Every structure is written in structure tokens, then in C-alpha cells.
Structure 1
Amino acid sequence: MSSSTSAAQSAEFSSPMLAQALEAGDPTSVALALRNDRVMVPMLVEIGNGDSAADAAEPQVRVFRRGDADKYMLLLFSSVDTYVAMLPEESDHQVVAYRAEDLQAFLETNKGVLESVWFDVAGPHAMQASADDILDALTLS
């Protein structure tokens, strides 16, 4: 998805429930939003030679790193607009909407290389958690 989208696409790529939870600064509400709604996950922009279907790379989650840190940060967003606000100089903001099971699978696979998970890092209601905290919230029985 790019930043030039229709209103219908924008609604599909947003989570008012998560945005409200972040605005309230309430970790419990954030956990409920992650379990019951969706979260926008930045994706790497695919660059391939397009010669064949076999050359097509599997879409990958975009993670970020501070300087030469050993581990990465997973940045999640309540909407594509909050992602665009973080990187306004970019022109192609690819995102996918993850549901709880998608986010859980990603975190279980990658938690060893993640130092933190940030929500709406560009503000005004940013929140940080550990991958383990997010997994605990998603797997709460």
C-alpha cells in the first residue's frame, strides 16, 4: 500500500481501537486492541529483477536498528498515516495489516533479535514494550 490511498483503503489500514488505547496510554487496552483488531506492520519495498515468479522475494517485515546496535526494533502503527508521519521523506510506504495470530507468529520467530517493540513511534502517543510482553498479551488465556 502506498501513502496515496482511497478512504476505503485507509480504513482497512488503520486501527481506531489501537489508536484510542495508545492515546489513553493504557497497556491493557493496547493488549486488547492487538488481540481483537489489527496493527499496521511496515514491509520492505520489494526490489527484484522480475524475470520469473521464482525470483519474487517473499514479502518481509521491515525492522529498524539504532546505529550499530546488535538487535532490532519492531515498529508497529495504528494506521498507515502514523507510519507516513515517521518517514515523510519516503514515497512508498508499504504496510500489511496483521491480526493477533500473524503478530504472534512473527514475534515467536524473531523475538531473539528484537530489543523492543514500539507503537506509533513518531507520536504523539508512542508506547514501547518488549516482544515477550506482547507475546504474553497475545497468548493470555
Structure 2
Amino acid sequence: MAGKKRSRSSEPLEFRNTQLADALQTQDMAALAFALRHGPTVVPLLRPGQRDDPRDSGEVWTYRDPKTGDVALLLFSDAVHKPAALPPAVALQSPAWLRAFLSAHEAEITTVFFDIAGPHPMQATPADLIAALDLDA
């Protein structure tokens, strides 16, 4: 029994949301909203959080267009879809975290891209995503 416990705990954490990937594949906004409300989102980090501090979730990486100053938040259905040019660290964030982050930065973020490099990219405004996350509330 002890051997089984160790093998389970040594399994790597999966940084993906299969429902989100399926929603992106069909480009279905209702399915996207459902996936965001009921599963995690892969978020690129500029600085990973401290493992010993559960309040430190790291520093989220955003893209600022040098020409317009517009800020985009990039989210992923699976860590394998994150372009290598982005910082290497990622976090798997909850729906509550995403709702709070979007609310805190809604005035600054102009658009949110999902799986920007493919295979099935989508984009939405922070306001649309906040509304989608609030549907169950």
C-alpha cells in the first residue's frame, strides 16, 4: 500500500483543462464559459509563487503592445500550447482566482487570448469573461 501512495504523489501535476480545450476547438462561447467556471486555467507567470506561502500565487505575465500600449492577458487550455518565447513558469489557477484577477485588472487589460498560438485560439474582453464566470453566481 505504501508503494502505491508514493507513486500517486510522484505523478506530475497536469497543467491542462480538457473542457477548455474542447470549447476552444468548437469555438463555442457557452462551452468556454462553462469550462472557465468549472476548471482551472493555465496562466503564464513572470515570477512563480513561493511554495511555502499559499498567498503568493506568483506574478502573472501580460503582454503590452509597444505601439498602442494595450495590455493582453494570455491564458491556455494546456501548458503545451504556451509559446516557448513566453516566460517558462506557469500556474494552474482556479475559476475564483481568474474572476478576482480579471476584476482587479479589468480597466488595464484590453483583451484576453486563449491558446494564442493555437491550435484553436479565441479571444474575449475581460468584461465578457467576468459575465461568463458570474453565470453560476
Using the TM superposition, give the Cα deviation of residue 65 of structure 1 relative to its aligned residue in structure 2, in angstroms.
1.6
* 1:45 counterpart = 2:44: no
- Between 112-121 and 57-66, report the one with greater CA deviation: 57-66
Task: Map residues 1-141 of structure 1 onto 2, 5 A cutoff.
Answer: 8-9=12-13, 11=14, 13-45=15-47, 59-83=58-82, 86-87=83-84, 89=85, 93-140=88-135, 141=137
Q: Distance in 1 between matches of 2:11 and 2:115?
A: 20
Q: Distance in 2 between matches of 1:79 and 1:119?
A: 10
Once the two structures are superposed, residues 77-113 of structure 1 have per-residue CA deviations (whole angstroms, 9 ceiling, x without a partner) of 0011011xx22x56x6111111110000000000100
Q: Name the structure 1 match of 2:51.
A: none
Using the TM superposition, give the Cα deviation of residue 71 of structure 1 relative to its aligned residue in structure 2, in angstroms.
2.5
Q: Secondary structure at the match of 2:42?
A: strand
| Matching residue's letter, 2:23 | A
| Conserved 8 A contact 2:47-2:60 | no
| Conserved 8 A contact 2:42-2:77 | yes
Q: Secondary structure at the match of 2:111?
A: strand
Bigger fraction of residues in helix: 1
| Matching residue's letter, 1:76 | L
Q: Distance in 1 between matches of 2:120 and 2:11?
A: 23
Aligned positions, number: 121
| Matching residue's letter, 1:45 | R
| Matching residue's letter, 1:102 | W
- TM-score, with normalisation over the residues of structure 1? 0.78
- Between 35-44 and 66-75, report the one with greater CA deviation: 66-75
Structure 2 gaps, min length 5: 1-9, 49-55
Higher relative contact order, structure no. (Cα contacts within 8 Å, ≥ 6 residues apart): 1
Bigger fraction of residues in strand: 2
Q: Distance in 2 between matches of 1:117 and 1:98?
A: 15
Using the TM superposition, give the Cα deviation of residue 7 of structure 1 relative to its aligned residue in structure 2, in angstroms.
6.5
Q: Name the structure 1 match of 2:53.
A: none
Q: Name the structure 2 match of 1:52.
A: none
